[in-house]
A and B are shown apart, each in its own frame.
Chain A
Amino acid sequence: MVMTRQLISSNWGNIQPESVEEYAMAGGFAGLKKALSMQPDEIIAEIKTAKLLGRGGAAYPAGAKWEQLRAIPHSPKYIVCNGDEGEPGTFKDKMLLSQDPLRVIEGMTIAAYVFGSQDGYIYIRGEYLGIQKVFQQAIDNAVKEGYLGSRILGTDLTFNIHITSGAGAYICGENSALLNSIEGKPGYPRIKPPHLAEVGLFSMPTLVNNVETFSAVPTIVMEGGEKYLSYGTPDSGGTKLICLSGLSRRNGVYEIPFGVTLRDIIYGSEIGGGIARGKKLKFFHIGGQSGPCGTPDQLDTPYCYKALKSAGLSAGSGAIVVLDESVCIIDYLKGVTEFFIHESCGKCTPCREGNQKVHDILCKLSNGMAVEQDIALLKRLSSMMTNASFCGLGQSATVALDTCLKHFAEEFDAHLQQKCPAGVCFEEQERVAI
């Protein structure tokens, strides 16, 4: 079986990223040229056939999203690319934006053709300041060469892409908060419905897709939905960029066809190559900080949306953090929760207050101050946060906690007895003992 496949990563390191000439030489803009000869609905049909699921984390079918926006009669429609890659352990969009920006531009331009859009926005996280410059150069070059701007490739299509810089807030990766941020408002999520397809940027119909999703569009148009689908599994078309980090031997971004198992990813010689320093895998955190934690007995799960879901896992952003036995679950979850405490926008009660209280209880566990009721309280908090938070941030902040409570119940119990199997907690007590 093929472990990796370069559909959208083929240009990385091989071309001058902002060079239109080199991008075109490598086959770039063929998708756009073909798209301009097709009917918009034909393009959407190909994307539907391709079973391209949103690569930002929510895995919403891109074809359905495009079809819904297409059905909305109002104009102008805006094309927005979510490049606010803030999910910890995720650095794939960084590669696409810096190594192959013209592919993203091409994908967005095809969308502009489908929806008759004149303006597109790409929201690039503030930490990628250098990449913003590369991307701007790529935009300027594309305009110069007639692939962007007015009368693209001699057609009636006029499309301009504007870069908006984030300022470091994770919440701005949430699509509605991202649109607020582009509008110059604070990055708080919006009440939905109305959905962004109907009332999006500047209250107009809007398409918001992730960098990786847009990057896949030229390939789908070029090769056809059928072909793209065949690279992956019957439910998850094509390839996925995964970001391996943590205590894996070969951390990095890999483009894998859907269907490769987690074992192949973590241990396969083409990808992770096993655990660093010969240690034993304890668990892996998949999909980002907002994703679930998995255990070694789940390693034979194929990496595709359906199989991951049935295993209680999820692809999320593509992040896979590998952790070995030296890591304490409680200590790890404290770190995860600290991230959400830092990044909660503060607007709704469950997320603003809940994350802090989760952290309080985890601290009690690692100090040896926790009692049995605290575990029940953790579960009560987590369930409420998942079901009652305003947006995806709060709703998924305790996914890792939930999976750990399930898989590592005995480690929580051990902490109730002031024992830390990984030897991370109770440092003070040990010192006293010595």
Chain B
Amino acid sequence: MSHMNDADPNQPITVTIDGISVTVPAGTSILEAAKKVGISIPILCHHPDLSVRANCRICIVEAKGQRKFKTACSTEVWQGAEITTNSKTIREARKTVLELILAEHPRECLECIRNGSCELQKLAQDFGIKEVAFTPSRHVGELPIDDIHLAIVRNPNKCVKCGRCVEVCQEVQTVRAINTAHRSHRYEISTAFEKNLEETLCVSCGQCVAVCPVGALYEQDETAKVWAALDNPDLHVVVQTAPAVRVALGEEFGMEPGSIFTGKMVAALRRLGFDKVFDTDFSADVTIMEEGHELLERIQTEGTLPLITSCCPGWIKFAEEMYPELLPHLSTCKSPQQMFGALVKTYYAQKTGISPEKIFVVSIMPCTAKKYECARTEMNDSGYQDVDVVLTTRELAKMLKQANVSVRDLPEETFDDPMGTSTGAAVIFGTSGGVMEAALRTVYEVVTQKPLGNLDFTVVRGLTGIKEAEVELNGQTIKVAIANGLGNARSLLEKIKEGQVDYQFVEIMACPGGCIGGGGQPFGTTMAKKHERMKAMYQVDKKLPIRQSHKNPSVVTLYKEFLEQPLSHKSHELLHTGYASRNIDKEVKQ
């Protein structure tokens, strides 16, 4: 039996790596142990948030007494192991592995979306690759690019078959739109029956994009549409920015993860030429007004409970596909992005006298699914498509670079009125548990008519996959649950379906960690970075003078001037929506 199983799991293990002795807890991989002594073994298929696959074989090392190389990512250290990570043999073998991958990879780095952020490009650079000894087995670039999906493009020519995307889609998100197909040199990542992604169950969450090390998966680039709108003098172009963008955009400009970039982002957007720089946080506050009252109404009228949040379009599509029987649980509230679009082209248009057909709404989102959401045919209650174009955090960064904006050097500016005013409650929408906490801050005061002492509902915070809490509201206990990541959502929904739990309010976000970990955020996102972004969100919240949605003065004005009251006729017309089963097993399409 393996030497590795003989170890006492509690006993620290001492190993030698390239002659340096290091003591680590049992169960530590060679990869992690090497980091402790300043050795970063190259990796490609490995991702810190995913399981170990050991497919690419780039992290091979030598171990004394072992005939074959060991993969550092998958091999746990054992007592007395003598590991060599840097020898002629290892360097040569790793280079051969890399050359085999490069032989099949198109060398069009300059034209690639991942130029500068590509993990394969980095390896080639680190290895000092000057030429590749092997000839490609097929004509490079011969595989068709799947680009009809609204949010995500698949370029199989660039795929290095690391399997990260398959794991997130299959195991983490349980959407199961993509998987491995075929064998040997035809082995590839594909969809069932090799259909276009558009025809699969893909929910557009973009988690596959977020983990792809190369340019095989990326968002639909819509920056050209935005440039065209900005260049069109007849259009009044307004932009809204989602809460999670401001704590991640900085990374694209060399800032540390978790840097709060709001003021510079606003200034930069103005430099791009947007006529108004607004904040999705404003409509997040509106969402709380509507959804909070919807929750109260359902509790008071014994309506369908638990009420489940509907801010996240990836989650909405997942529900429509996988859990159509639970659709009555979904809040009828549109997402903040869509509420914003509908309000700009009605309320704001009316207020400013600008014709809605001249207004062009751009969203900056941490998300790829928002691209799909804004194109949903029902999202035109203003009489026009409510949101015209959605850009990801990454696409915004690209535009700023194209416009030569030195974002870090800009003075901080503030959002425009009236749809740029927001509260701390809205900011935290960007992290898992935030919508829940924001709702509780408002619902409590609406129900009790008493001011809430402590605004921090810390029990609902954090990046744990499923969180549960009980909250006292005027003598009544409200049971709530929060799931982030669709695999976790699935577990929670199964319990709801089986009647094993009796929550009143449930928050679901498709991406692990919520929007801070969205599929449109800067490449290289890890759990560690999400933690930093989350901390930044709560910092922003803490510093804001108003931290409850119903106290947002612009929201108060909006209801006074336009909507009258939450759940009013007008609210329903503009801010609420409906859902339909997309489950072909349960509903035969005509």
Contact = CB atoms under 8 A, between A and B. Distances in A.
A75 interface: no
Contacts of A171: 183
Most buried by A among B52, B57, B161: B57
8 contacts: A193-B4, A193-B5, A195-B1, A346-B161, A350-B57, A380-B92, A384-B92, A387-B68
B1 A197 contact: yes
Interface string B1-35: 11011000000000000000000000000000000
A169 B54 CA distance: 21
Given A193-B76, A353-B100, 14 more contacts: A169-B183, A191-B54, A191-B74, A344-B183, A346-B183, A348-B56, A352-B185, A353-B101, A353-B134, A357-B137, A387-B68, A388-B57, A388-B69, A390-B54
B450 interface: no
A388 B187 CA distance: 19
Contacts of B135: 360
Given A349-B101, A356-B185, A357-B100, A387 B60 contact: yes
B355 interface: no
Contacts of B134: 353, 357, 360
Nearest to B76: A193
Contacts of B54: 191, 348, 390
Contacts of B163: 347
Nearest to B56: A349
B186 interface: yes
A345 interface: yes
B93 interface: yes
B455 interface: no
B185 A346 contact: yes
A138 B100 CA distance: 49
A140 interface: no
Given A186-B180, A395-B68, A352 B103 contact: no
A384 B93 contact: yes
Nearest to A381: B96
Interface of B: 1-2, 4-5, 52-58, 60, 67-69, 74, 76, 92-93, 96-97, 100-101, 103-104, 133-135, 137, 161, 163, 180, 182-187
A33 B163 CA distance: 50
A347 B53 CA distance: 9
Given A341-B185, A356-B137, A348 B57 contact: yes
**A interface, over-half SS:** helix
The 5 A-B pairs at the shortest CB distance, nearest first, are namely: A346-B187, A353-B100, A344-B184, A384-B96, A384-B93
Contacts of A349: 55-58, 97, 100-101, 161
Nearest to A340: B184
B163 to A, nearest CB: 8
Interface in A345-395: 345-350, 352-357, 360, 377, 380-381, 383-384, 386-390, 395
B97 A352 contact: no
Contacts of B182: 346
Given A345-B187, A346-B183, A347-B55, A388 B97 contact: yes
Interface string A189-205: 00111110110000000
A68 interface: yes
A406 interface: no
Interface in A313-364: 341-350, 352-357, 360
Contacts of B68: 386-388, 395
Contact of A354 (B60, B74, B100, B161): B100
A346 B186 contact: yes
A387 B62 CA distance: 10
Nearest to A171: B183
Nearest to A343: B184
B345 to A, nearest CB: 49
A160 to B, nearest CB: 28
A387 B90 CA distance: 10
B184 A68 contact: no
Contacts of A377: 133
Interface of A: 68, 169, 171, 186, 188, 191-195, 197-198, 341-350, 352-357, 360, 377, 380-381, 383-384, 386-390, 395
A389 B155 CA distance: 26
B184 A341 contact: yes
A194 B187 CA distance: 26
Most buried by B among A186, A193, A350, A387: A387
A381 B54 CA distance: 19
A381 B134 CA distance: 10
A192 B187 CA distance: 22
Contact of A388 (B1, B93, B133, B184): B93
Given A346-B183, A347-B187, A349-B101, A195 B2 contact: yes
Given A195-B1, A381-B96, A352 B137 contact: no
B55 A348 contact: yes
A345 B184 contact: yes
A197 B5 CA distance: 12
Contacts of A352: 161, 184-185, 187
Contacts of A195: 1-2, 5
A194 B1 CA distance: 10
A192 B1 CA distance: 11
A387 B101 contact: no
A356 B137 CA distance: 7
Contact of A191 (B52, B67, B186, B187): B52
Nearest to B62: A387
Contacts of A188: 180
A356 B92 CA distance: 19
B246 to A, nearest CB: 40
Nearest to A354: B100
Contacts of A387: 60, 67-69, 93
Contacts of B53: 191
A345 B183 contact: yes
A348 B55 CA distance: 4
Contact of A350 (B100, B161, B186): B100
Contacts of B101: 349, 353
B514 to A, nearest CB: 31
A45 to B, nearest CB: 18
A369 to B, nearest CB: 11
Contacts of A192: 2
A350 B187 contact: no
A380 B134 CA distance: 12
A357 B138 CA distance: 12
Contacts of B183: 169, 171, 343-346
B29 to A, nearest CB: 11
A390 B69 CA distance: 10
B70 to A, nearest CB: 10
A344 B187 CA distance: 9
B103 A353 contact: yes
B188 to A, nearest CB: 8
B66 to A, nearest CB: 10
Contacts of B1: 68, 195, 197
Nearest to B187: A346
A133 to B, nearest CB: 28
A330 B115 CA distance: 42
A355 B187 CA distance: 14
Contacts of B69: 387-388
A390 B54 CA distance: 8
Contacts of B137: 353, 356-357, 360
B57 A353 contact: no
A357 B52 contact: no
Contacts of A186: 180
A63 to B, nearest CB: 13
Given A191-B52, A193-B5, A389 B57 contact: yes
Contacts of A345: 183-184, 187
B78 to A, nearest CB: 10
B338 to A, nearest CB: 40
B190 to A, nearest CB: 12
B187 A390 contact: no
A349 B135 CA distance: 15
